[in-house]
A and B are shown apart, each in its own frame.
Chain A
Amino acid sequence: MILILAETHDPLAGILQTRIEERGQPVRRLSERELMEETPIAVERDGRRFGGFLRLPGGDVGVNDLSGVLVRISRRWWPSPAFDPPDQMFVYHETTAALFCLLAGLSCPVVNRFDLGWWLCDRAYPELLREELGERLGLRLDGMDGAGSAGLAASVYAVDGRLIPASVAAAPLADHLAGRSAALAAWQASSGLRICRLDLLAGEEPFLERLDPCPSLADEAPDVTERVAAAALEMLS
Chain B
Amino acid sequence: MILVVGSCSDTVSSALVRHLGASGQPFQVVDEDHPDRYSVRRDWLEGRAGYRVLGGGCDGASPVGSIFVRHAAPRHLDPGRLAALGDLQRDLNRMLTAARCPTVNLPANAGSNYSKPFQVGLLAEAGFDVPRSLVTSIPEEARRFYDDLGGRVIFKGISNVATFAQVLTPDKLDGLAKLPHCPALFQEYVAGVDYRVHVVGDEAFVTRLSSRDEDYRRGARAGDADLVIEPAFLGDEVTARCIDFTRQLGLVVSGVDFKESPEGRLVALELNPYPQFTFYEGRSGQPITSAVAAYLARHPVDLSNVFA
Contact with B along A19-45 (1 / 0, CB 8 A): 000000000000000000000111111
CB distance A41 to B108 under 8 Å? Answer: no
In B149-179, the 8 Å CB interface with A consists of: 157-161
Cβ-neighbour of B182 out of A43, A45, A94, A145 (below 8 A): A94
* CB-based nearest B residue for A80: B181
Write out the residue numbers on chain A whose beta carbons fall within 8 Å of the beta carbon of B86. Answer: 123
In A75-113, the 8 Å CB interface with B consists of: 83, 89-91, 93-98, 100-102, 104-105
With contacts A93-B161, A117-B111 known, is A100 near B132, CB below 8 A?
Answer: no
Q: Say yes or no: is A128 at the interface (Cβ < 8 Å to chain B).
A: yes
For residue A205, give the distance in angstroms from its CB to the closest CB of chain B.
15
CB distance B159 to A46 under 8 Å? Answer: no
CB distance A94 to B183 under 8 Å? Answer: yes
Chain B: residues with Cβ within 8 Å of the partner, total of 46
Cβ-neighbour of B181 out of A91, A97, A127, A128 (below 8 A): A91
Please tell me which stretch of A47-55, A65-73, A155-163, A222-230 contacts chain B, meaning at least 4 of its Cβ atoms lie within 8 angstroms of it.
A47-55
Q: Say yes or no: is A220 at the interface (Cβ < 8 Å to chain B).
A: no
A115–B161 Cα distance when bound, in Å, is 19
Q: Say yes or no: is B138 at the interface (Cβ < 8 Å to chain A).
A: yes
A90–B125 Cα distance when bound, in Å, is 28
Contact with A along B18-41 (1 / 0, CB 8 A): 000000000000000000000001
Cβ-neighbour of A128 out of B108, B117, B118, B183 (below 8 A): B108
Interface residues on A, range: 35 or more
10 additional contacts (CB under 8 A) given A90-B161, A97-B114, A122-B93: A40-B138, A40-B180, A42-B138, A45-B124, A90-B182, A93-B161, A98-B115, A105-B118, A117-B108, A144-B49
Write out the residue numbers on chain A whose beta carbons fall within 8 Å of the beta carbon of B241. Answer: none
CB distance A47 to B114 under 8 Å? Answer: no
CB distance A41 to B136 under 8 Å? Answer: yes
Contact with A along B88-131 (1 / 0, CB 8 A): 00100110111000000001100110111110110011000110
For residue B181, give the distance in angstroms from its CB to the closest CB of chain A.
7
For residue A68, give the distance in angstroms from its CB to the closest CB of chain B.
20
For residue A150, give the distance in angstroms from its CB to the closest CB of chain B.
17
For chains A and B in complex, what number of residue pairs have CB atoms within 8 angstroms? 137
With contacts A44-B145, A90-B161, A123-B90 known, is A100 near B115, CB below 8 A?
Answer: yes
Q: Say yes or no: is B42 at the interface (Cβ < 8 Å to chain A).
A: yes
CB distance B137 to A98 under 8 Å? Answer: yes
CB distance B135 to A102 under 8 Å? Answer: yes
5 smallest beta-carbon distances between A and B, as pairs: A124-B93, A116-B111, A97-B159, A93-B159, A97-B115
For residue B142, give the distance in angstroms from its CB to the closest CB of chain A.
8
In A136-195, the 8 Å CB interface with B consists of: 141-145
A190–B158 Cα distance when bound, in Å, is 26
CB distance B145 to A105 under 8 Å? Answer: no
Write out the residue numbers on chain B whose beta carbons fall within 8 Å of the beta carbon of A40. Answer: 136-138, 180
With contacts A42-B138, A94-B157, A117-B108 known, is A104 near B115, CB below 8 A?
Answer: yes
Write out the residue numbers on chain A whose beta carbons fall within 8 Å of the beta carbon of B180. Answer: 40
Q: Say yes or no: is A120 at the interface (Cβ < 8 Å to chain B).
A: yes
Cβ-neighbour of A116 out of B112, B117, B130, B145 (below 8 A): B112
Write out the residue numbers on chain B whose beta carbons fall within 8 Å of the beta carbon of A83. Answer: 181
Q: Say yes or no: is A7 at the interface (Cβ < 8 Å to chain B).
A: no
A42–B139 Cα distance when bound, in Å, is 10
A168–B150 Cα distance when bound, in Å, is 65
A96–B108 Cα distance when bound, in Å, is 18
CB distance B111 to A131 under 8 Å? Answer: no
